Structure 1
């Protein structure tokens, strides 16, 4: 096929522009600078994307007038672009048409890894994770590439019927994500996928939770956070905000949520989470203020209750010292008796806690008497 005005190259450009329109929709529409202003119904992102899709499909039809004269290889490339365009839609009919086009593409050119990836994405959207994984693995048989590896990592986390199978697939998910980074260690999206794999392994593993896995997750997310392409992914920003919240890095959590809201104000979850986190922090500030206002009589009663605790009788002959009498660093053979107040918050799948430690308690060997207040 003549390279001048190559219809396949033009088709690819049309589809690339369609995806760019979707990915930069709110920024290009000027909504990113004013997220507090509600969008009009006719500004709905998906409606506009679907409208743009119709225009692109019409252009693709115009380019395919000589389809019957093309080689099998060229027809496969055309079907790839048509299926790729249809994959952007949320309509069932478009999904079926995308599946048909992409199936034709891989039959005409089985080594076309991008077509396998797009077909796998269509299966994934339908919840057929086994078929999706087969597509990504088929792509990898012909070409080791980061997109297939990342996609395989994602769907593996959805597979498995027994606890053993699920745990095995979680480990495989991490390995696929690592291999994706071997293809391109600077790819922020691959770091994000690896972070997701670690995060899922941390929370869903059938074995005891390993804090080192959470550290690996945070390290991977931080790598992604420093990549401009990744920070334009609202799902990454939301997930990273969740991890930062869990890690009590509230400032970064709020920054991530605000950026997610800016990029896609139609997605309600980041705004809901931002509202909840802001309320949580206000409650913490209120508790701190109340603690600071405790009267000396109340503090004395708390200390006296420690002295009356029968479990502490073994320390009757020990020497008591004030906190100010402790040395900086490790105090050998010294424990702390204190009372702590915890506020427990149910935030999604985990409980967050905030400790308000009482002041000026006497110190001996470490025993803490804890009172929990559930909010």
Structure 2
């Protein structure tokens, strides 16, 4: 009897190793395949899954009522990106036979998630943690919490903060796990967009993504990592890095339409902006002179008051400055002023873009974030930007180059348009979510 038990354990261990090898084949695909073979990854993984499944099923008659066998069969089917009813049945039976089977609860939770049952998934991951603290349950909970519907904005913020805590705990359990670092990056990114866009949070997200790649070579081949990070790069106006990331994500997963579409949209946006700056929005010279003739310091409106409080908290009136006299970075104590000559909405409404010409007929592009759909400026409007944040955009990507100066404005409430402050309803916090269920 003891010999039979020993043989069974050995056979079950071999099955586990077979399934582990399958996951390793999927996760480390590019360690044994070139980027040119990226389009074959999905079919190659499916083929390996079928081979592994066949080997497991050869032993099914002997082990079909064994929790460990059911777990490995469920894990094998779970390697595929889509829901498997057979996997759900196997894993449900496995945890009934052995309620303390943490891997069983985690894999069953992933199947519920693929089916769209987020509450069922959350219950599985929470249940697994009751049997033992582990990184897989924690990071899966982190992802599910950010996707669960919330009653209101406050409840959603609370869920996102809880998701960051779960991801942090997963990293603490194993600081060498690139997947945990990557999910922590996504959690920080969600927190950044949910809770006031504190620059420290975006830096923490970028640091976590970098750490993910540093500790785990396989993580650098996650297309979702490059895509999500590029979304943050684009928001931070690191356009060259965003384009490179979208391009990398597209190369890693040629079947995913999102990355090449984003890359194309961003390139078209940069081309359009460059062209509009060069021709000053195609406004005819005579009309431009007429527009600029009534540009006076009275347009500064509230900025003329000694009690004016600038975005940085400085109190005192602001001095108007020409665009050429502004320095790169923040310009304290001064205001840029000009006439709108064009406007442009970035795809996905990430920013509202407009071109502004000052009294010297110099044109600059202004990117305004966190705008309500109803907000915008019209050609001919006078816009004052208190303490403008000036940037130099110098981008080269796939033989295309862009070079222009821009002003970033984090909220329309910071602008003075036609001598007036903007209505509080003109601002709405930008919401950006991480891509794909698997992140």
- Alignment TM-score, normalising by the size of structure 2: 0.66
> Which runs of structure 2 are paired with 1:263-342 in the superposition (5 Å)?
263-291=252-280, 301=290, 303-307=292-296, 335-339=335-339
> Which runs of structure 2 are paired with 1:75-114 in the superposition (5 Å)?
75-89=66-80, 95-114=84-103
Q: CA deviation at 1:66?
A: 3.7
Match of 2:212 among 221, 224, 232: 224
| Aligned mates of 1:333, 1:306 — CA distance in 2 | 20
Change (3 A) 1:299 1:133: same
Q: CA deviation at 1:359?
A: 7.5
Q: Check the 8 A contact 2:234/2:242 in 1, yes or no.
A: yes
Q: CA deviation at 1:296?
A: 8.7
Q: Check the 8 A contact 2:283/2:341 in 1, yes or no.
A: no
Change (3 A) 1:60 1:309: same
Q: CA deviation at 1:16?
A: 2.4
Q: Check the 8 A contact 1:84/1:118 in 2, yes or no.
A: yes
Partner of 1:175: 165
Change (3 A) 1:4 1:90: closer
| Aligned mates of 1:105, 1:52 — CA distance in 2 | 23
> Which runs of structure 2 are paired with 1:1-375 in the superposition (5 Å)?
1-2=5-6, 6-24=10-28, 28=32, 30=34, 32-33=35-36, 45-64=41-60, 66-67=62-63, 75-89=66-80, 95-163=84-152, 164-203=154-193, 205=194, 210=198, 212-227=200-215, 228-291=217-280, 301=290, 303-307=292-296, 335-339=335-339, 343-348=343-348, 350-351=350-351, 353=353, 358=358, 360=360
**Secondary structure of 1:266's aligned partner:** coil
The alignment of Structure 1 onto Structure 2 pairs a total of residues equal to 351
| Aligned mates of 2:168, 2:237 — CA distance in 1 | 27
| Aligned mates of 2:157, 2:416 — CA distance in 1 | 38
Change (3 A) 1:91 1:248: closer
| Aligned mates of 1:189, 1:129 — CA distance in 2 | 20
| Aligned mates of 1:296, 1:168 — CA distance in 2 | 54
The CA deviation string for residues 290-310 of structure 1, in whole angstroms up to 9 with x for no partner, is 349999988765543213857
Q: Check the 8 A contact 2:185/2:209 in 1, yes or no.
A: yes
Q: CA deviation at 1:4?
A: 11
**What stretches of structure 1 of length at least 5 have no aligned partner?**
none
Q: Check the 8 A contact 1:57/1:82 in 2, yes or no.
A: yes
Q: CA deviation at 1:244?
A: 0.7
| Aligned mates of 2:198, 2:302 — CA distance in 1 | 37
| Aligned mates of 1:319, 1:63 — CA distance in 2 | 82
| Aligned mates of 2:75, 2:101 — CA distance in 1 | 13
Q: Which moved more, 1:283-292 or 1:332-341?
A: 332-341
| Aligned mates of 1:330, 1:79 — CA distance in 2 | 61
**Secondary structure of 1:229's aligned partner:** helix
**What stretches of structure 2 of length at least 5 have no aligned partner?**
305-317, 363-383, 388-414, 419-439
Q: Normalized per residue, which structure has more helix?
A: 1
Change (3 A) 1:110 1:354: farther
Q: Normalized per residue, which structure has more strand?
A: 2
Q: CA deviation at 1:261?
A: 1.6
| Aligned mates of 1:243, 1:273 — CA distance in 2 | 13
